[in-house]
Amino acid sequence: MRLLANTLATGAMLVTLILTFGPISGAHLNPAVTLADASQGGLAWREVPGCLTAQIAGAFAGVAAHLMFGEAIFSASRHVRSGGAQLFSEFVATFGLLCVIWGCARLRSSAVPFAVGAYITGAYWFTASTSFANPAVTLARSASDTFAGIRPADAPGFIVAQLAGAAAATALFRWLVPSLPKDAEAVVVSHSSEQKAVYER
């Protein structure tokens, strides 16, 4: 039941957050996605440090929100997630996530929020690691001694596997779609200057 509860909450909130913040920032909630997008010219490298900082800060703010349940705000996780199977799971989870994003963002940007939410919902169940697929989330969950947590010592391996998965998916789509850099600005969803202007009114 705990896994099911985590799955439904994560999938639903991903759709909601991407729809909410997509027109403002492209819904860059994941460092692996941000770095992959920047590598293809969709995001200026000068903007990357700010994005990464915001992503990590946001992830830890989410952990702090655990206070609403009367628990300690931060506590080092004791949930062991080590071994090759766990690391490969994170490679696969993040590889799949980037494939979904690169594949949908090109021609069906409006479908990305739902595709990402559905993918992560499914990936919870088909990966041994329950699909963290996000370095910021991995760091934050190391500060949460819960079912969803990860032991701090295991977090670096997860992050390396996630970044490798994102790089592999990006390389694959660069090969499949040589024009990929032209579509990179639409990742995660399109966030043109015209759309931003609407939100600033």
CB 54, CB 116: distance < 8 Å: no
At residue 69, the pLDDT reads 82
Angstrom distance (rounded) from CA 67 to CA 122: 28
Question: Residue 131, by phi and psi: left (phi above 0), alpha (psi -120 to 50) or beta?
Answer: left
Which is more confidently placed, 198 or 21? 21
Identify the band that residue 67 occupies on the pLDDT scale cut at 50, 70 and 90: confident
What CATH code would you report for 2-200? 1.20.1080.10
Domain boundaries, the chain: 2-200
Q: What angle do CA 39, 60, 134 make, to 5 degrees?
A: 35
User: What radius of gyration do the chain's Cα atoms show?
Assistant: 16
pLDDT score, position 185: 77
What pLDDT digit, counting tens, does each position of 3-30 carry? 898 899 999 999 999 999 988 888 999 9
Residue 191 has pLDDT above 80, yes or no: no
**Count of CB atoms within 10 A of residue 180's CB?**
19
pLDDT for residue 192:
55
Residue 178 has which token pair?
């040589």
* Residues composing the chain: 201
Integer angstrom CA distances of residue 197 from 57, 128, 166, 190, 191: 26, 43, 31, 13, 10
- The dihedral of CA 131, 137, 139, 145: what is its sign? negative
pLDDT score, position 70: 80
| pLDDT given for residue 23 in this prediction | 87
Cβ neighbors of 124 (< 8 A, separation 6 or more) are 3, 6, 7, 10, 11, 130, 131
What per-residue string of b and e applies to 29-62 under the rule 16 or more CB within 10 Å gives b?
Answer: bbbbbbbbbbbbebbeeeebeebbeebbeebbee
Residue tagged 């701090």 (tokens): 152
- Neighbour count for residue 1 (Cβ, 10 Å): 5
